[in-house]
A and B are shown apart, each in its own frame.
Chain A
C-alpha cells in the first residue's frame, strides 16, 4: 500500500538532547513537509522540500533542521535550540502543482520533552 510512515509514534527525550523524527513515503511525491501542532491549534509549517537536495524554511524553522538526500525520506531533527519542542509533529507529501495540490499526511509523532 502506498502512503506515508512516521516513526516512532511516541517519543520522549530529555531536555538538551537532539532527536530525529523519521518520515518516509512511497507515493513518488516530489514535495515533502513538516508541521508542528500544539493542543487546540492548527498546523504550523516548519520546513518543506519541493525536490531532492533542496529545502526551505517554513514559518517556525528555528531550532529544527532537515535533510532531503532521497526522494522518499525527509527526516526532521529537533535540536536543543528549540525551546518548547513538546508537540505533535506531522509529515506530509504532495505532487507540486498537481491539480488539487492535495497534501497526504502521515500518522504523526508525539514528542514529549521531560
Chain B
C-alpha cells in the first residue's frame, strides 16, 4: 500500500502570508495527487487535481506542484476564509486511494 505523509500537521499564519504544505508518497505516483480543503462541519472540496491543475472556480492564490513522490501545495496570500484542514490524496490503479493525514491551517 502507498502511504502518504503531510507536513506540517498544523500551522498558524497571518493574513497575507504565503503558506506551503508538503505531501510525500511512499512510492512514485507520477502526478496522481489531488488536494482538498475541508472547512469545519463541511464536506471536503477539490482544489487541485493531477498535482498542479486548479479546479474551476478555485481562487488563483491556491497552487500545487510536484511529481513522483514529493508534492507541494501553496496559498500565495492567506485569507481569513482559507481557515480549514487541507488533505492530499493519491490514486493508484489497483484501484486504491489514500488521503494524507491533513494539515490544519489557522490565522495567527
Indicate, yes or no, whether A interacts with B: no
